[in-house]
Amino acid sequence: MPPKSFFELMQWGPQGWLDEMTFATGLTLAVAISGFLFGLVFGTIAAMGKLSRRAIPRRLADVYTTVFRGVPDLLVIYLFYFGGSAMVTAIAQKFGAQGFIGLPGFLTGTLAIGIVSGAYQTEVIRGAYLAVPPGEIDAARAFGMSGWRLLRRIIGPQVLRYGLPGMGNIWQLVLKESALVAVVGLSVYFYEVKLGDLVLIYETRFSDLLRQAHVAAGSTRQPFVFYITAVVFYLLLTTASTWAFRRAETWATRGLRQV
């Protein structure tokens, strides 16, 4: 049987792979967004530690950024998934459980990506805060602003303005690093139940984009088609992300004089 053409392979429905590749792209985007948001939380906490006047928070934040910026991302994912699964298995066996208990790939993958990206976001947030003119903060305090109002009206908008370009770069890195989560078998299961004379249960498994391309390439023995398709989907995501961050930067700097 001659190999199928590109358009035969990339059609929607049971005869093609376009629907699987599209859903896999959505899962990849979900992993990237979740990891980025986790990183934003970790980065904000670590940035507060680095800006603290106390020595212990500063040292802990320094250790966090040094370790996770110096260790390969794939190694962090392995440690979280296999190390965490081994720990959960050991605890469960003490209560009588048997066998190996694997942690969810989505949770461990996004958490690992979030912790790594948070180490980079820490420096972006810290640098953006230090870029805020101290005189504006002093003037706001002289007018009686403090706490939440000072953060909302003075510090927050300017940290956002100065930090957006760096955050855009980190987002692009997170989007590409999401492909590494495929090594822990990232997948999401959906079940469809139809009621009638018989109860039929259909199980559909969606993987991330790179894993789905690998599976499709192995099933059809046409790797070039699916890896090129994955390239196109990744480029669509990164292009849309670049446009979105540029629009956000334009909005954040709308009140400034453009030189």
User: Are the beta carbons of 237 and 29 closer than 8 angstroms?
Assistant: yes
Query: Residue 199: its pLDDT value, please?
Result: 43
SS3 at position 2: coil
Query: Residue 258: its pLDDT value, please?
Result: 56
Q: How far apart are CA 51 and CA 58, in angstroms?
A: 7
Distance of CA 135 to the CA centre of its chain: 36
List the structure tokens of 65: 């950024």
Q: How far apart are CA 90 and CA 146, in angstroms?
A: 49
Q: Name residue 190's beta-bridge partners.
A: 204
| CB burial of residue 250 (10 Å; 0-12, 13-18, 19+) | exposed
Query: Residue 180: its pLDDT value, please?
Result: 81
Query: Residue 80: its pLDDT value, please?
Result: 84
Query: Residue 201: its pLDDT value, please?
Result: 44
Domain boundaries in the chain? 6-252
DSSP state of 97: -
Residue with tokens 């957006």: 164
Q: How far apart are CA 131 and CA 152, in angstroms?
A: 16
Query: Residue 84: its pLDDT value, please?
Result: 81
Nearest to 28 by CA among 254, 234, 239: 234
Nearest to 85 by CA among 71, 99, 64: 99
* Residues contacting residue 206 through CB under 8 Å, at least 6 positions apart: 20, 23, 24, 26, 27, 187, 188, 189, 190, 212
Query: Residue 198: its pLDDT value, please?
Result: 46
Nearest to 230 by CA among 35, 77, 14, 20: 20
0.85 surpassed by pTM: no
**6-252: in CATH 1.10.3720.10:** yes
Per-10-residue mean pLDDT, the chain, length 259: 63 74 86 92 92 90 91 86 82 75 78 91 90 82 78 81 88 87 63 47 61 80 83 91 88 66
Query: Residue 190: its pLDDT value, please?
Result: 47
